[in-house]
């Protein structure tokens, strides 16, 4: 059973392969390498659907797409859908997270609350009735400096809630397995699992 993952982000491919292997080892996740559609939606759901529909149409396979980002409370939910390009058009992860830290250092917010959001669209070619969108949210707060080499994007500055107060780590310091059992992406996939039962 193949399912195509509509992303050009290799970290997302690795994470989905690990998440799917843990609960649906019969499903083979293949990365989509066809033309990238223009992501001009204004919400995670719109962008996820744009990507999943394009991959389903191009490959003829059931398709998943993840549109995701980090949403900072004191910034009204930004960077949100603009997370990949927060510091410009280059998709430069270090520049993005440094800009976010700079922005937070100018604002007095002792909580620094933020959440990672993953929105997954599922599209089955030729069966619009099965099209669906689910969301996973991972609450936490922003560190004051980056630490850790793991993960990607904003992981080095995100401290998930629920850790022992004297041993808090950023996701950059977590193992891949730790991240993939707790993350916004894992939570969204859990919500999606019942819809994949027929695959």
- Which residue from 3, 4, 7, 114 is in contact with ligand ITT, where contact means CB under 6 A? 7
Q: Of 4, 12, 20, 133, which one interacts with ligand ITT (CB under 6 A)? A: 12
Give, as ranges, the residues between 79 and 138 that touch ligand ITT (CB under 6 A). 83-84, 96, 116
The enclosing H or E element of 23 equals helix 10-23
Catalytic, 40? Answer no
Q: What 8-state DSSP symbol labels residue 36? A: P
68 annotated ligand binder: yes
68 contacts ligand ITT (rule: CB under 6 A): yes
Q: What is the DSSP string of 77-102?
A: T-BGGGGGGTTSTT--HHHHHHHHHH
Cβ closest to ligand ITT, residue 119 vs residue 124: 119
CA–CA separation, 181 and 191 (whole Å): 14
- Beta-carbon contacts of residue 183 (< 8 Å; ≥ 6 apart): 15, 116, 118, 136, 138, 171
Measure the CA–CA gap between 8 and 34, rounded to whole angstroms. Answer: 9
Segment 23 to 62, residues that bind ligand ITT, using CB under 6 A: none
Residue sitting closest to ligand ITT (CB) = 153
Out of 33, 40, 67, 127, which one is annotated catalytic?
67
Q: CA–CA separation, 89 vs 92, rounded Å?
A: 8
Stretches 18-26, 105-113, 151-159, 191-199: which one binds ligand ITT (CB under 6 A)?
A: 151-159
Q: Which residues are annotated as a binding site for Mg(2+)?
A: 67
Kindly list the catalytic residues.
67
Q: Which residues contribute to the site for ligand ITT (CB under 6 A)?
A: 7-9, 12, 66-70, 83-84, 96, 116, 151-155, 183
């Amino acid at each position: 059973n193949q399912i195509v993952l509509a992303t050009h982000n290799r970290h997302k491919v690795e994470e989905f392969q690990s998440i799917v292997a843990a609960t649906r080892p019969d499903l083979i996740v293949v990365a989509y390498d066809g033309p990238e559609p223009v992501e001009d939606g204004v919400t995670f759901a719109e962008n996820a659907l744009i990507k999943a529909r394009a991959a389903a149409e191009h490959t003829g396979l059931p398709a998943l797409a993840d549109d995701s980002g980090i949403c900072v409370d004191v910034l009204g939910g930004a960077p949100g859908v603009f997370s990949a390009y927060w510091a410009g058009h280059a998709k430069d992860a270090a520049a993005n997270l440094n800009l976010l830290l700079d922005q937070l250092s100018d604002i007095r917010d002792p909580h620094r609350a933020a959440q990672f959001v993953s929105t997954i669209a599922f599209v089955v070619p030729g069966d619009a009735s099965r099209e669906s969108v689910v969301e996973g949210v991972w609450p936490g707060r922003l560190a004051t400096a980056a630490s850790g080499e793991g993960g990607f994007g904003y992981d080095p500055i995100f401290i998930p809630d629920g850790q022992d107060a004297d041993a808090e780590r950023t996701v950059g310091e977590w193992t891949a397995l730790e991240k993939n059992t707790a993350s916004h992406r894992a939570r969204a996939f859990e919500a999606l699992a019942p819809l994949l039962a027929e695959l």
